[in-house]
Structure 1
Amino acid sequence: MKSSVITFPGSNCDRDMDVALKKFGFNNKMVWHNDNELPKSDLVVLPGGFSYGDYLRCGSMASKSKIMQSVINFAKSGGLVMGICNGFQILVETGLVPGVLLRNKYLEFICKNVFVKLDNKKNSYFQNLEKDVLELHIAHNEGNYFCTKDQLKEIEDNNQIAIYYCNKEGQVEDQFNPNGSIKNIAGIFNKNKNVLGMMPHPERMIDESLSGEDGSLFFKNLINNIK
């Protein structure tokens, strides 16, 4: 399976994602933001970080990079595109997924492990994943997902919510919401479920001895689903 990770000026999780993808069997290539064309890929990843220093608005400048037109075309053709943290911010700026990401509720940078509950397994990312609750890591200042009431209704009607913030037992309540996201939303899909944006970092949880293994479960499942 072939994957591509896009590197923008300010990306800081691109190499972590490269390590994770290769560890679980992907033949990964790093793609510079100023390139015009994607290499042949089964999966494209927009990694975390601070693209363009979060200047103007998180992800706004990166969404205009040369490579993004190829990413958009790839997504619209049905290709799998995953945006993690800043990558999620870039996805909303391109319009590939609905909504916006605002400053965290308490205006503080958050860096900690969280639990997320899978809401939709009928997709290439989570299908056949045995666990319903994963422990992953977040590190963001603008992870507060927001959308209009009409958008929220459409998202819910189309089963586009991918994951919710929850506790270890899978309870989705406001007290387990780290950043103020509407309805505890931690990640969403586009309508066709081939584009996934989420704030938690699975690539930071791929070694049981160093961090945790729930990210490993995610990547193992993902590559098996798209073989």
Structure 2
Amino acid sequence: MHSVTIAVVKFPGTNSEKDVIRALQAIPDAEPQIVLSREDPALLLDADGVIIPGGLSYGDYVRANAVAMIDDMRDVIREIADSGKPMMGIGNGFQILSEFKILPGSLKPNKTGRFVSKWVYLRVCENPTMFTEGLEGKIVRIPVAHLEGRYQIGKKGLEKLNSSHEVVMKYCDVDGEMTSDANPNGSIENIAAVVNEKENVLGLMPHPERAVRGEVGSNDGLLILENFVRAAEER
């Protein structure tokens, strides 16, 4: 296996890129590098995979990432999504991908109106994806940390999401039940993660990069990142 170059995009104001870099460094053959959003877009096109991490993009104004829509890198990110190359948006990165219309739905303020930072349980859906290989149907434990993480989508969009098997993970309790108490932000149908139609782009509110060592609570996030690196290498 050759070195797998993973570009980790840093938008102005984001603050989780270092966590993602450290997590990827624990994976053999992964070669992560931070790419500033205003650098040469070719740096993203040349990478084997792209991750847009969490944090507060452009100060998290009113609607998270609304200003990020004007960033010159948006066209390149769309090109990568269309190419089939693996791409992942975590937390705020998920919001960016939804703002760019690369992923369906949108992220709204949490139902409580308060910032949520806690460990949550997630049931991985049975439909296989490159990101969840070997985890289908299992319950994983990964933390969330967001103010605007309530996933919303219209009725027709939800029907398509379900019929196309684009829902990847749902918030659940320790027993795997999708209850309202297990839903940290009020997301419709407890949805925590989705993919695009091509299934090469994943958006998730939980932070897998913060669940890579069992001694800190879970290493379930590492399994997702390992799958990502493997998919990037195989493509």
Q: Deviations over 1:23-48 (max 9, x none)?
A: 11311111111124142122101100
What CA distance in whole angstroms lies between the structure 2 residues aligned with 1:89 and 1:130? 24
TM-score in terms of structure 1 length: 0.95
Q: Distance in 2 between matches of 1:22 and 1:7?
A: 17
CA positional deviation for 1:210:
2.7
Give CA deviations for 1:120-171 in whole Å, capped at 9, x if unaligned: 4422101123771110000000000001001100111110101000011211
Match of 2:8 in 1: 5
Unaligned runs of 5+ in 1: none
Tell whether the 8 Å contact from 1:204 to 1:211 is kept in structure 2 after alignment.
no
Q: Does residue 1:185 correspond to 2:188, yes or no?
A: no
- SS at 2:215 equivalent: coil
Deviations 1:3-38 (A, max 9, x none): 000001111101100111121131111111112414
Q: Unmatched 5+ residue regions in structure 2? A: none
Q: Which residue does the alignment assign to 2:140?
A: 134
2:162 corresponding residue in structure 1: 156
Evaluate the alpha carbon distance shift between residue 130 and residue 190 of structure 1 in structure 2; reply closer, same or farther with a 3 A threshold: closer
Counterpart of 1:199 (choices 197, 205, 208) is: 205
User: Quick check: 1:5–1:31 contact (8 Å CA) kept in 2?
Assistant: yes
Match of 1:173 in 2: 179
Q: Is the 8 A contact 2:125 2:137 kept in 1?
A: no
Match of 1:24 among 27, 33, 52: 27
Q: Quick one: structure 1 residues 96 and 191, their matched pair in 2 at CA, closer, same or farther if it must change by over 3 Å? A: same
Match of 1:99?
105
Conservation of the 8 A alpha-carbon contact between 1:11 and 1:49 = yes
Contact 2:166 2:197 in 1 (8 A): yes
Q: How far 1:225 sits from its partner (Å)?
A: 4.0
Superposed CA offset, 1:83-142 (max 9, x none): 000000001100000111111011110000000111144221011237711100000000
Query: Which residue among 208, 227, 230 is the counterpart of 1:224?
Result: 230
Q: Does 1:33 align with 2:37?
A: yes
Q: What TM-score results when the alignment is normalised by the length of structure 2? A: 0.92
Q: Counterparts of 1:50-65 in structure 2 under 5 Å? A: 50-65=56-71
Cα distance in 1 between the residues matched to 2:172 and 2:47: 33
Whether the aligned pair in 2 keeps the contact of 1:104 and 1:179 (CA below 8 Å) is yes
Q: Residues 130 and 154 (structure 1 numbering): CA distance in 2 closer, same or farther, change over 3 Å?
A: closer
When structure 1 is superposed on structure 2, of 202-211 and 9-18 the one drifting more is 202-211
- Percent same amino acid at aligned positions? 34
Alpha-carbon RMSD:
1.5
In structure 2, what is the Cα distance between the partners aligned to 1:86 and 1:64? 16
- Which residue does 1:114 correspond to in 2? 120
Write the distance in 2 (CA, Å) between the matches of 1:139 and 1:218. Answer: 18
User: Is the Cα–Cα contact under 8 Å of residues 121 and 128 in structure 1 kept in the other structure?
Assistant: no
Q: SS in structure 2 opposite 1:162?
A: strand
How many residues are aligned here? 227
> Deviations 1:32-74 (Å, cap 9, x if unpaired)?
1112414212210110000000124202222331222111101
* Corresponding letter in the other structure for 2:134: N
Q: Distance in 2 between matches of 1:219 and 1:92?
A: 21
